[in-house]
A and B are shown apart, each in its own frame.
Chain A
Amino acid sequence: MQSQPDTRVTQPPLKTRSQYLFGWYSCTWSTALMVALPVLSIFYLAFFPTENIWPHLVETVLPVYITTTLELMLGVGVLSVAIGVCGAWLVTMCRFPGRKIFEWALLLPFAVPAYVIAYVYTDLLEYSGPLQIMLRELFGWQTARDYWFPDIRTLGGAILMLALVLYPYVYLLARASFLEQSTTIQDASRTLGCTPFQSFYRVSLPIARPAIAVGLSLVSMETINDFGTVDYFAVKSMSAGIYDTWLNMSNLGGAAQIASLMMVFVIILISLERIGRARQRQFHSADRFKKLTGYQLSGWRAWGATTLCALPVICGFIIPVWVLGRYALRNLDQLWTEDFLTHASHSFILSSCAAILTIVIALLLAYSKRLHKKRSLKLAAQFSSLGYAMPGAVLAIGVIIPLAAFDNLLNDITEQLFDTSVGLLLSGTAFAVVFAYVVRFLAVSVGSVESSLNKVTESMDMASRSLGYTPLETLFRVHLPLIKGGILTAALVVFVDCMKELPATLILRPFNYDTLATYVYQFASDEMLEACSLAALLIVLVGIIPVILLSRTISATRSS
């Protein structure tokens, strides 16, 4: 970042505009490029397939992959928005029993990894699971042929599982947006004759649309890149095709082509949404700190709201934790080892580092875009967010390529100069893992930081600058305090996402290095849920601590 002496005291010669621009430009673009390197590596790989995979794919399974992926995205998207927006609106704008608890409890399912919830529900709902056993005893059925029971290992099951753990993205962002909305607008809509619902539908919802859209695009990208859950449920989405081409047909180039195409698809999706709200722009300066009064619900409405909020929490959090807890307690003596503390600390350190780094980079990207409304800077921000839509294992390969190239170059140089090699400096270290996290989850923080920053009116910048602050000082002293909530939200999401991240961690980690997620996977991949229940429970528990802490801080941004 550019250093700028204190202009108010010494009055050094002012920098020219082009000098300014150059600093921000180079800084922003070099950061964006670095983060985009893994994705570029995959694009590069796409030029070297071992053979042309497309005729075979088009002729056989591609139509299935495409329709399945679209159905999956549509299903998860609709369900997540429904749960997320409803929940956010209810806890922010209404008063009903348990509201205070649901404020943070609705975030809890977020701490549950998708692959874990898939294992848990299969365990619970399958033929030999407790539910069906109970039903059989109750009705005297003998075999699976005596009755019909919904099969969890289907497209519908996968949609439900993914939506249950992904809706918190929408919830978080929608809630932050509702909290940031000025009460005056709503008051105005009500005085103009809107019912509470109309006021929600015609005023609050459109204002929150950018935030909801960001949440939805995060959900879609998570859905597209998921492999663990869909594979377990035997649902053939695009990522199944990628892995099949790579591993079974030994055609990494072909797999990179499919991945790149998927990426293009995601870019189109996001730009469509952006075009859709291109001319919308709103700021709220006044009244943000006026306490929300909210609608007091009573009677069936109140209990209805409670039920509506409780349902996703129970299905997405309480039931999985209960099942895991039962297993863990049953085998506690065999499961607990000293190693757990090490695994947990690895998870914690990696995730925190990644969360801090992504926030810093997201701020840089979003703020320089705000400072200089140049297309190219906007592009830089979008460009660096691409990693999110890539399946984790493919992204890991993309991370390996530039890091290993750097390491090998370094060794070539030291061998030339000092006749000695230093070994691999970055590949196979925790740095590689953190780098992968940043690449993967930058989209999350950029989206969140940007949408918060966009709500700060530009007259703030102008006032601050004309009062003598540099752009950097303006960022630290004006913007950061204003968008604290958005930043914390982003940090929280990235942290929890990193705790759960699996495929890239597996491939990139150092020797003898386990995180909670990799430890769980060792056993879960063998369908030995009982053996990893404790570790899975720990991921969830470590994940909910920041969820609760930060949720409180976010609420505090409004009520203080």
Chain B
Amino acid sequence: MYKTAKRLAAIALPAALAFTSFTAQAADEVNIYSYRQQFLIQPMLDAFTAETGIKTNVVFAKKGLIQRLKHEGKHSPADIILTSDIGPLYDVVNEGLTQPVESAVLDKNIPAQFQDPSKHWYGLTSRARIIYASKDRVKPGEITTYEDLADPKWQGRICSRSGKHTYTLSLIGSMIAHHGEAETQKWLEGLKANLARKPQGNDRAQVKAVKEGVCDLALGNTYYFGKMLTNDKNPEQKEWAMSVNLLFPNQDDRGAHMNISGAALTKYAPHKEAAIKLMEFLSKEQAQTMYAKANYEFPVRPNTPRAELINEYMGEFKEDQINLQEVAELRATAARLVDKVGFDN
């Protein structure tokens, strides 16, 4: 037994040393902490490596990366934070973990509403949160605004994702920005009263529920439509998508609520130059087109064509021009409203 123990130690020790191997600090690489799934961003990253020869390294997680960055401090290997929503971008900037990026390329490619006034974060793609309405059971023009969702005539006919999901919180945040907290609470209560079921599932699941007759209206992000319509691995999703009309709300006033996926440069980025190069690359035509084609997101870069399929079904629409910084600031308030109203109960 002693011998076995010694032998075990002899194996374990070198193994333990191998574990603590350093992240190679080569000059030509960019380290990314990503809140977006790797399979969504890898094609763009590969294109970047092909063009510049700069390698990219990714850690993906949906929570906790900001805390990791924070405690790693000035020796953190991370250069860039990528997110799928304004929320984490706002948080990471707020924690003082980023630095501003001055870049003519980014300024040219990214409209003002999708970048931080103080240059700490930039949006890379945008999406609208729209109403998916049953083709059979909702007449055209029957609903035109987010505010209408609280109308009692929709009682028992609306499906929603959890009120605590970051997309819902951003939408509620924008409602607070436009209408104030008290009125938004009333609206949320009205919406809650109209729900066909307890909030559950992701955006696709809501559209599916419309297809199945559980409800007639659902809230969802635009790119899910493209993803469902082209899903060959799970073809039944095409039927879900074909059962709904896409309604862009508030076209006669402020426009549809927009959100972004975005990027920020970390405060102590060890590969600052390469990292800025990557951010610029992601805002240029090639990457923007890839985003549009692969994920059905809207390019933020003006005049970059959207995916054909998106154009076919969505056309032009009016976007809410409010700066997302303002929306992000109201997310905590929105989360409290969701609790107060008991939206998820």
Contacts and interface: CB of A to CB of B under 8 A. Distances in A.
A523 B40 CA distance: 10
A139 B164 CA distance: 39
Most A CB within 10 A of own CB, among B2, B64, B166, B200: B64
Given A421-B75, A431-B19, A507 B63 contact: yes
Contacts of A404: 68, 71-73
Nearest to B73: A408
A424 B345 contact: no
A250 interface: yes
Interface in A254-291: none
A338 interface: no
B236 interface: yes
Nearest to A246: B63
B294 interface: no
Contacts of B71: 400-401, 404-405, 427
B344 A234 contact: yes
A480 B67 contact: no
Contact of A423 (B2, B77, B202, B234): B77
Contacts of A434: 19
Interface string B51-78: 0000001111111110110011111110
Interface string A419-460: 001111111111100100000000000000000000000000
Most B CB within 10 A of own CB, among A356, A423, A426: A423
B68 A526 contact: no
A506 B64 CA distance: 9
Contacts of A518: 60
Contacts, number: 170
A512 B212 contact: no
B19 A61 contact: no
A319 B112 CA distance: 52
B345 A393 contact: no
A71 interface: no
A511 B57 contact: yes
Contacts of A64: 342, 345
B8 A431 contact: no
B16 interface: yes
Given A143-B212, A512-B58, A407 B20 contact: no
A24 to B, nearest CB: 17
Interface residues of B, number: 66
B44 to A, nearest CB: 16
A307 interface: no
A258 B64 CA distance: 17
A511 B75 contact: no
Interface string A515-544: 000100011011110110000000000000
B213 interface: yes
B342 A61 contact: yes
A476 B75 contact: no
A353 B12 CA distance: 8
Contacts of A531: 233
Contacts of A145: 213
A525 B73 CA distance: 29
A234 B20 contact: no
A500 interface: no
A70 B117 CA distance: 47
A411 interface: yes
Interface string A43-70: 0000000000000110111001000000
A560 to B, nearest CB: 18
B75 A400 contact: no
Most B CB within 10 A of own CB, among A400, A506, A507, A530: A507
A28 B208 CA distance: 56
Contacts of A506: 60-62, 64
B58 A144 contact: no
A393 B64 contact: yes
Contact of B200 (A59, A234, A251, A526): A234
Given A145-B213, A233-B200, A424-B72, A430 B22 contact: no
A429 B59 CA distance: 12
Interface in B133-184: 162, 164, 166, 169
A248 interface: yes
B162 A234 contact: yes
Contacts of A421: 75
A243 interface: yes
A428 B344 contact: no
A56 B344 CA distance: 16
Contact of B340 (A60, A246, A334): A60
Contact of A249 (B20, B21, B59, B336): B336
B38 A143 contact: no
Most A CB within 10 A of own CB, among B61, B62, B331, B342: B61
A247 interface: yes
Contact of A250 (B91, B339, B342): B91
A331 interface: yes
A407 B59 contact: no
A496 B21 CA distance: 26
B90 to A, nearest CB: 9
A127 interface: yes
Given A234-B200, A244-B164, A250-B91, A427 B72 contact: yes
A424 B164 contact: no
B120 to A, nearest CB: 16
Nearest to A531: B233
A480 B63 contact: no
Most A CB within 10 A of own CB, among B71, B73, B212, B331: B71
B78 to A, nearest CB: 9
Which 8 A-B pairs give the minimum distances between C-beta atoms? A511-B57, A234-B200, A507-B64, A60-B339, A404-B71, A506-B61, A476-B1, A248-B335
15 contacts: A234-B162, A248-B331, A250-B332, A331-B233, A400-B67, A400-B72, A407-B75, A424-B23, A424-B72, A428-B68, A503-B64, A506-B61, A507-B64, A511-B57, A511-B58
Interface of B: 1-2, 5, 8, 12, 15-16, 19-23, 25, 31, 37-39, 57-65, 67-68, 71-77, 87, 91, 94, 162, 164, 166, 169, 198-202, 204-205, 208, 211-214, 233-234, 236, 331-332, 335-336, 339-340, 342, 344-345
